[in-house]
Amino acid sequence: MDAAKVKVPEARIALSTSSVYPLGVVDAFAMADRLGYDGVEVMVWTDPVSQEPGALRKLVDHYGIPVVSIHAPTLLLTQRIWGTEPWPKVDNSINLAEEVGADTVVVHPPFRWQRDYAADFVEGIKQRGTETDVRIAVENMFPWRARQREMQAYLPGWDPVEIDYDHVTLDLSHTATAGSDALAMQEALGDRLAHIHLADGSGSFKDEHLVPGRGSQPCAEVLERLARDGYDGDIVLEVGTRKVTQEQRELDLAEALAFARLHFAAAAD
């Protein structure tokens, strides 16, 4: 294709610190710098650096790479980070984002057993969105399945399309696990689509977070649509590398970045 006829929006392609797990935040910055990523999403985790704005600012200054987003510790495995009450986790994540200059905070919807939190979740997220310039983007999730049984683990639900969130994170590994139509979800979200977690999945009951292009999800098509529409949010590679060697981790994350750069483009007309 003639380069003069290709449109590539200025959205940043960033690396999630979860993509280098079990390595830490410092390793993620080093990897992002070495491979040419535009930024880093910090998953708030047991790594103390992920919770400390001063330490994160030093990494930003050292590598010249921004923190584009903060992933709040609202996962099942981070239930005790910043205490056990859910709203302080969200508020601390917003404060952390503001202190390090991140544009977005990613949150998961409440678990079904967090009924008080869930009852006020939509309104609480909306209210906090009026008090900060940081976008609070609620992530699409999936039903939990085991032995041919399905459990709705999230309230008010795992599918954000029909829920009144101002901003949404679209995760393509989660669409695979849920059996969702990622392109239909992308279209239905419209301008509410504020953030992308780019990964792939095969449709397994497990949340696989494969390198994009290695599963069944329309990763290329989603990126091309984003480019066509002039998307100006961030695209974050959230790829699982826990079981591979350091050499393979670097190869996988280089491949993931190359895939994103290749497909995040559209015809200029």
Least confident of 5-9, 30-34, 82-86: 5-9
Query: Binning pLDDT at 50, 70 and 90, where does residue 269 land?
Result: low
Domains of the chain by residue range: 3-267
Say whether pLDDT at 224 is over 60.
yes
| Chain centroid, CA 183 distance in Å | 17
- Mean pLDDT, rounded, for 169-181: 97
Residue 4: per-residue pLDDT? 59
Which residue type occupies 192?
R
Instruction: Tell me the CA distances in angstroms from 210 to 5, 15, 185, 244, one per residue in order.
Output: 31, 14, 20, 12
Tell me which residue of 18, 121, 131, 5 sits closest to 73, measured CA to CA.
18
What mean pLDDT comes out for the span 134-157?
88
| pLDDT confidence band for 7 (50 / 70 / 90) | confident
The DSSP result for 11-29, as a single string, is -EEEEEGGGGTTS-HHHHH
3 Cβ neighbours under 8 A, 6+ residues apart: none
pLDDT of residue 5: 83
Query: Per-residue pLDDT for 81 more than 80?
Result: yes
Q: Is 3-267 assigned to CATH 3.20.20.150?
A: yes
pLDDT of residue 204: 87
Strands (E) across the chain are located at: 6-7, 12-16, 39-43, 67-71, 104-107, 135-139, 144-146, 149-151, 168-171, 193-198, 234-237, 266-267
Per-residue confidence at 2, pLDDT binned at 50, 70, 90? Answer: low
